[in-house]
Amino acid sequence: MQTSRFPFTVVAFDLDGTLVDTAPDLTAALNHALGSLGRPAIDPESVRHMVGHGARALLRQGLQATGTCDESLIDRGFPVFIDHYTAHIADTSRPYPGVAEALDRLDALGVKLAICTNKAESLALRLVEALGWQNRFAAIVGGDTLPVRKPDPTPLFAAIARAGGGPAAFVGDSITDTDTARAAALPCIAVTFGFRDRPAEELGATALIDHFDELIPALMKLQSPQI
């Protein structure tokens, strides 16, 4: 007989573009930094394709999209970006539809929740707190928590271990996340509504979901048949 036990003890999530739509606040901070360097603003839709590798990488892409780019320009714009973003981290950033319900249901199933993001740890903690999620996650690993970041699998392993370990799955939105999960040999569910630079079908995810309502059924399907 097949057991209905949930197949994972830990589910780890990417943050930007997966749990939370942070694009408008990131765009405002990026455009503030670009403006301070005499650059024009970038539209929010373009920024959605630039997020996933941390703030410096976002600024680099913003500079490249509006002119020349070198490390000294990034060095000048970076503190401007961080100051603005820190002050406005949750002006408009909100969880995607169904996130709260899905996290509640996982919690009720006894599943430990973790975040593995390339956002700086301090910014991730600040955003989580601003959303009232300070008691929600058993572990939060940011892009600067360890010497390496996603797509290196080490931060994902650390997030899972800090959340208690055991069978785990990762939920993300970008190629960075699916590459990380593949490197970790873990299943990866990709959301189709997040920030990505290619069609969702090309991410190489184990499964795709269009809404957080589909998360738990998708995770259940990953269960290998049990006798």
Ligand X SMILES: O=C(O)COP(=O)(O)O
> Known binding site for Mg(2+): residues?
14, 16, 173
The secondary structure of residue 21, as a DSSP letter, is E
What does each C-alpha distance from 25 to 45, 141, 146, 164, 179 come to in angstroms? 12, 21, 25, 32, 26
Binding partner of 53, given Mg ion, ligand X, none, CB within 5-8 angstroms per partner class:
ligand X
d(CA 97, CA 125): 21
Q: Which of 31, 61, 93, 118 touches ligand X by CB under 6 A?
A: 118
Q: Which of 8, 11, 17, 155 touches ligand X by CB under 6 A?
A: 17
Cβ of 12: how many Cβ atoms within 10 Å? Answer: 34
Asked if residue 119 binds ligand X (CB under 6 A), the reply is: yes
Please say if 14 is a catalytic residue.
yes
Binding partner of 117, given ligand X, Mg ion, none, CB within 5-8 angstroms per partner class:
ligand X
Smallest distance, Mg ion to C-beta of residue 191, A: 9
Buried-state track 31-51, b at ≥16 Cβ within 10 A, e below 16: bbbbeebebeebeeeebbebb
Catalytic residue among 14, 21, 25, 177: 14
Residue nearer to Mg ion on the CB measure, 173 or 179: 173
List the catalytic residues: 14
List of residues contacting ligand X (CB under 6 A)? 14-17, 51-54, 58, 117-119
